[in-house]
Structure 1
Amino acid sequence: MNLNSENKTILVAPLNWGLGHATRCIPIIKALQENNFTPIIASDGIALELLRKEFPYLKTLELPSYHIEYAKNGKNFKWKLIKNLPRMIEAIKEEKKMVKKWVKKYDIGGIISDNRLGVFHKKIPSVFITHQLNVMTGNTTWLTSKIHQHIIKKYTACWIPDVNSKLNLSGKLGHIEKISMPVSYLGPLSRMRKMALPIKYNLMIILSGPEPQRGLLEKHLSEEIKRYDGKVIFIKGVIETVQKKEQIGNVTYYNFMKTRQLEHTFNESEKVLCRSGYTTIMDLVKLNKKAFFIPTPGQYEQIYLAEKLQEEGLVPFTHQNKFKIEDISKIEQYNGLPLLDNAVNWEELFKIF
């Protein structure tokens, strides 16, 4: 434990884009507490709701929404984002003003922003967390990557949840040849622990991400799963006030799970069917679980990760509109994700504050 932190208050602000940014901040928030810091959580939407459930005793603040929405047709994903760009820029300007006020009001001594572009302060140490030094947007990747790298450079440090070696998880997303910014590779970040529990479920389905694509996949899989003989647990990824459980045949449905229950469920499941979101990939590494991926239509980052991991012989995938439950059998032909060292030296990292 670092006893020299003088109980400094650290603002932790994940982006509300699905649940991945929020969930990978859970081990960071816990590490801050273990090292004698006082975290304040700031976000919006389901990301903020999830963290309020995980840390009901911590102060939480609401940031403006970036209004991130997916198109029903994956081909329109980029254009939907471009259409929402003015509202996103307005939200970033607004959160800059809010952070300025909060730094004074709550005597904040440091900032950790997980992809929130306006959560930054010139006068206090500000850390940016991302696995995307390169931002995949198809034929505009060069431009979005350049803009993102320019934004990251203003931060005191950039933390990348991956390893800096040939065998890595993020590939060209988190690794660039010439780095002109202070970058630290943390290793995979996960709120999960591997546990020696008996297998209760043949298949675990876990959904996440913004609507309407989350709901479209839920509907598709609810039909496909009717042809599956094994025991299934299906977590919809819908954060609501009350947890709901429903049993339909061989499938147990939950709207959401908090970390401890989710951790047990992962450990009790033989195989996992999920999106190829980066945080989910890190969880699977930690839990040493074999999986099948269905990337979000039109989301270049998830498609790139799914293609990369399939080409490396680690995890199979298929596109959402082509998925059949029989595809699950392909998991046996792949090696599964590599076991990577994920012991983070938090005390060393937190010296920045």
Structure 2
Amino acid sequence: MQKPKILVVVLNWGLGHASRCIPLIAALEQQGFEPIVASDGLALTLLTKNFPHLKSYRLQAYEIRYSRKPVFLKAVLALQVFSWLKHIYFDKKQILAIHKKEKLSGVISDNRPGAALSCIPSVYLTHQTNILGAWQPIANMLHWRIIRAHSHCWIPDFTHKLAFAGKLSQHTTSKQVKIKKIGLLSQLKADTHPVTKKHISILLSGPEPQRSELEVILLKAIEFSELPVVLIRGSDKKLKLDKVPSHLEIIDFATRTQVQQVLESSHFVIARSGYSSLMDFCALGLKAFLIPTPGQPEQEYLASYFSKKGWTASCTQEAFTWRKLEELKNIKGFPTFEAPDFKALFSIFRA
């Protein structure tokens, strides 16, 4: 008997969307489905590295451009709206063609707007049902138009009153789409046996040029580290470094297994405050120092939100020094991790 085919469509905007889809894809296989992956760029590379046996499709890249100066970021992104609409149209055509070829039983889209199909269950995965920033009303109106094009919206957040995403996951009810908080999604699992702490981890991710900007800052700062440092760059571009310090190990592009091994043996991790990374740190109970991407209200909010709760320490990119890491002595860590009930979630694809 042929397994039901589920297309998992992922936005290539940093690696967070891809990494949080890893547990979804693994669970689909465990529950007797045949996942098919569709994305582009580094997101597709990460997914095919973790699931080399699965069929995959390369979608047309959105080619989002960013400003080096955070103050111009919103304007630069706004000027690309018509380009995005064009790419959404191309996505719709490609995904409909994949459906006709594969005879899909469902689609799960992680923030890829053009993946909705009205003829089969279509899920939109997002933690940000309330977009922050200067253009909040317009952004939310447009985002909800995208969400309502799907039959279901899954929010990776706690199902009880404590909101892991804070006000980002606040939402109103909708008759057009079934909205459900599903629990946190992490590609990592805590080891039941004690793991020896060996080093400090740096986990870089997110769009360029800000990923590289932070990399330069941290590479200069690690000379003050008294402990070994492992840097996971999250990039396929070669690092131009005249001399690698003896206490630094560099990994350009890590699989789920490598990320697990590096993070769980860390005293703490330095990283962006991307939502997917935060879910991973929560899963392992890690101490984390957060440096939000400049000009991204979501990351700035999450860094502040977690710091105020005493779960992490944080500062702006321009204010970072190695001495700032001393603030980690006072943090209490993350709340209890809640895994999704995948069997119940995937029941919509068996109807």
TM-score range, shorter chain: over 0.9
Q: What SS is found at the alignment partner of 1:328?
A: helix
Say if 2:241 is the partner of 1:251: no
* Matching residue of 1:198: 195
Larger deviation, residues 227-236 vs 89-98: 227-236
Distance 1:166 1:69 in 2: 37
* Matching residue of 1:159: 154
Relative to structure 1, the CA distance from residue 298 to residue 316 in structure 2 (aligned partners, 3 Å threshold; closer, same or farther) is same
CA offset digits 1:138-188 (Å, max 9, x no partner): 221121112112221121111110013332210111122545541111111
Distance 2:131 2:263 in 1: 29
Q: What SS is found at the alignment partner of 1:89?
A: helix
* Matching residue of 1:232: 229
| Alignment match of 1:339 (pick from 326, 332, 336) | 336
Distance 1:249 1:25 in 2: 35
Distance 1:201 1:234 in 2: 13
Say if 2:153 is the partner of 1:175: no
Query: Structure 1: any 5+ residue segments left out of the alignment?
Result: none
Say if 2:143 is the partner of 1:148: yes
RMSD: 1.6
- TM-score, normalization by structure 1: 0.93
Deviation, 1:25, is: 0.5
Deviation, 1:6, is: 5.0
CA offset digits 1:106-164 (Å, max 9, x no partner): 1111100000000111111100000010122x221121112112221121111110013
Distance 2:244 2:261 in 1: 19
CA offset digits 1:209-253 (Å, max 9, x no partner): 111111111011000111111121111111479xxxx95221111
Say if 2:57 is the partner of 1:61: yes
CA contact (8 A) 1:276 1:302 kept: yes
Deviation, 1:69, is: 2.9
Q: What SS is found at the alignment partner of 1:305?
A: helix
CA contact (8 A) 1:295 1:319 kept: yes
| Alignment match of 2:96 (pick from 73, 96, 100) | 100
Distance 2:119 2:237 in 1: 38
* Matching residue of 2:268: 271
CA contact (8 A) 1:6 1:36 kept: no
CA contact (8 A) 2:163 2:169 kept: no
Query: Structure 2: any 5+ residue segments left out of the alignment?
Result: none
CA offset digits 1:286-345 (Å, max 9, x no partner): 000011000001011100111111111221111111100111110111111111322x21
Letter in 2 for 1:150: R
Say if 2:223 is the partner of 1:215: no
Q: What SS is found at the alignment partner of 1:272?
A: strand
- TM-score, normalization by structure 2: 0.94
Q: What SS is found at the alignment partner of 2:134?
A: helix
CA contact (8 A) 1:49 1:239 kept: no
Aligned length, in residue pairs:
343
Letter in 1 for 2:270: L
CA contact (8 A) 1:92 1:117 kept: yes
CA offset digits 1:81-103 (Å, max 9, x no partner): 11222221111000101111111
Q: What SS is found at the alignment partner of 1:159?
A: strand
Runs in 1 of length 4+ with deviation above 4 angstroms?
177-180
CA offset digits 1:177-208 (Å, max 9, x no partner): 54554111111100101123533433110100
Distance 1:235 1:223 in 2: 16
* Matching residue of 1:117: 113
| Alignment match of 2:84 (pick from 67, 88, 95) | 88
* Matching residue of 2:129: 133
CA contact (8 A) 2:173 2:179 kept: no
Distance 1:81 1:240 in 2: 24
CA contact (8 A) 1:285 1:337 kept: yes
Distance 2:155 2:172 in 1: 15
Letter in 1 for 2:3: N
Distance 1:341 1:38 in 2: 25
CA contact (8 A) 1:164 1:175 kept: no
Distance 2:102 2:153 in 1: 24
